[in-house]
Amino acid sequence: MKRSIMRRLVGAATALALAGASMPAQAQQDFINVLTGGTSGVYYPLGVALSKVFTEKVQGSRPSVQATKASVENLTLLQQGKGEIGFTLGDSLAMAWAGDEEAGFKAKQDKLRGVTAIYPNYIQIVATKESGIKSLADLKGKRLSVGAPKSGTELNARAILQGAGLTYKDLGKVEYLPFGESVELMKNRQLDATLQSAGLGVSSIRDLATSVPIVVVEIPAAVVDKVGTPYVKVTIPANTYDGQTAPVQTAAVVNYLVTHSGVKDETVYQMTKAIYESLPDLAAAHAAAKDIKLDSALSGMPVPMHPGAQRYFDEKGVKKGS
């Protein structure tokens, strides 16, 4: 009888020990919330691709994808610890680090940490052909959508218009709308033009170009020079969109992936490693990812690097400015 009781007690103790041993493994699961942008932009499909990559390559992770208003909202959420990695434009990131209130940041977002530079966002101003808009000056008195209020795209719109000697007051009407909604209004002749800051071949503009004749409006080199850093001169290749038969000069701003100081070093290291081991998968999700290069991963990063990401680049011999 005593032996039987002892066996039961030993069995119960063993079961409890095994249960206890399994608990830390569950507790160590890393929730990775990927902060993206609107579903009709580039951030969102790339965020979905990142989520799949992290699921496969970051052991013990539980990734999720959140559609947001993009750069400014993503940076605010990261500062609050409500995401683990997010997409942002470089100028928005610099303004967040500085605590630029006009850009939507009430204080310095001091918990932000860099992961990597990714691809350039091309500032793409597209008008319907029937609007008669052929240049930046032609936007006077016209109806233009500039992205969600104080989004990265809207900050780009302000900068480019200012460089061209224009303000919102010079326009006939300003709409603060996501890419997809802007395109629907243009199809219905309720909007003349849209400014979209995105990777080349963004789905919203491709959709518009297959529905109505369009004009891709040039941002001349002189305007880009006037706006200055972090904007650079680039060209939208011919035939990027239906009906766009010639190359078009424009401006671009580098995009970054960013995290915050509260995310574990090992998690960020594994995420960074997974990104660079999965570039073909990201490029399959959107062509913009073809411009993600290891040798430019640290290019122009306006916030301190996260130690986990820095460890990966140190292993690869990547240096700032290389």
So where are the chain's domains?
29-118+255-316, 121-253
pLDDT at 23 (0 to 100): 40
| Phi, psi angle pair for 177, to nearest 5° | -130, 150
Q: What is the pLDDT of residue 282?
A: 97
Segment (H or E) for 87: strand 85-89
Helices (H), 28-136: 43-57, 71-79, 90-98
Gyration radius of the chain over CA positions: 23
Q: What is the pLDDT of residue 4?
A: 52
- 35 conformational bin, left if phi > 0, alpha if psi -120 to 50, beta if neither: beta
One-letter amino acid at 90 equals G
Helices (H) and strands (E) in the chain, counts: 11, 10
Alpha-carbon distance of 75 to 92, in angstroms, equals: 8
> What's the confidence (pLDDT) of residue 150?
75
CATH architecture, range 29-118+255-316: 3-Layer(aba) Sandwich (3.40)
CA separation, residue 152 to residues 37, 93, 252 (Å): 10, 9, 12
How do 173-175 and 143-145 pair as beta strands?
Answer: parallel
Q: Do the beta carbons of residue 255 and residue 90 sit within 8 Å?
A: yes
Cα torsion angle, 86, 256, 96, 196, sign:
negative
CATH classification (class only), 121-253: alpha beta
pLDDT at 10: 46
Confidence (pLDDT) at 12: 47
pLDDT score of 14: 45
Question: Exposed/middle/buried for 261, CB within 10 Å: 0-12, 13-18, 19+?
Answer: middle
Give, for all 322 residues of the chain, the pLDDT tens digit: 545 544 554 454 444 444 444 444 334 578 999 999 988 889 999 999 999 999 999 999 999 999 999 999 999 999 999 999 999 999 999 999 999 998 889 999 999 999 999 999 999 999 999 999 999 999 999 999 999 887 889 999 999 999 999 999 999 999 999 999 999 999 999 999 999 999 899 999 999 999 999 999 999 999 999 998 888 899 999 999 999 999 999 999 999 999 999 999 999 999 999 999 999 999 999 999 999 999 999 998 999 999 999 999 999 999 886 5
Do 29-118+255-316 and 121-253 come out as alike in CATH topology?
Answer: yes
Compute the distance between CA of residue 116 and CA of residue 64 in angstroms, rounded to an integer: 20
136: its two tokens:
């930046």
* CA–CA separation, 248 and 257 (whole Å): 27
Instruction: Provide the pLDDT for residue 7.
Output: 53
Nearest one of 23, 81, 31, 87 to 58, comparing CA atoms? 31
